[in-house]
Amino acid sequence: MYQLDMALPYSGLRIQASDDAITHIDFIHADAVQKKSSPTALLKECCHQLRAYVKQANFKFDLPLAMQGTDFQQAVWRQLQAIPWGETLTYGDVAEQLNSSPRAVGNACRRTPVPLIVPCHRVVAKTGIGGFAGDTEGGFLPIKVQLLRHEGLEF
């Protein structure tokens, strides 16, 4: 397992990868970003693509992913990857597509191992922004607001 930290305008990220796929991206506080690392070519490419997204919201990620999750979680994550930049769906919309419940979709979104690449920030509540990374107020929620604004949406 390999790891690299990087800073973005709104957060730090900790990226983990195996020899051939990105496995996790976690939001971390900017002051927790570790400067020392020996990045692999894949981690460098992931950072390059994340910076490209920061510069241009419609950037399309093209990275090998290895996401561990249940069959249902995998189905939700595939649905999320189909949401175009600059658009949102509600938890209920995704649930309807999968014959499930909004709460189950929210739980799967919370467990997305590679946020940003799997755009869980594009799923919102019926009457507001919803949660992000398990937070419904404070915490990581301001990051979701910034990501949506970056994509031209207001919440």
Q: How far is CA 41 from CA 44, 47, 74, 82, 132, in A?
A: 5, 10, 26, 27, 30
Check if 120 is active-site.
yes
| Candidates 46, 47, 109, 120; catalytic one | 120
Q: CA 39, CA 2: separation in Å to the nearest integer?
A: 7
Query: How many residues are there in the chain?
Result: 155
Q: How far is CA 149 from CA 14, 52, 93, 124, 155, in A?
A: 22, 16, 21, 13, 8
Using CB atoms within 10 A of its CB, is residue 25 exposed (0-12), middle (13-18) or buried (19+)?
A: buried
Compute how many other C-beta atoms are within 10 angstroms of the C-beta atom of residue 146. 15
In 3D space, the residue among 135, 69, 141, 73 whose CA is nearest the CA of residue 104 turns out to be: 73
Catalytically active residues are 120
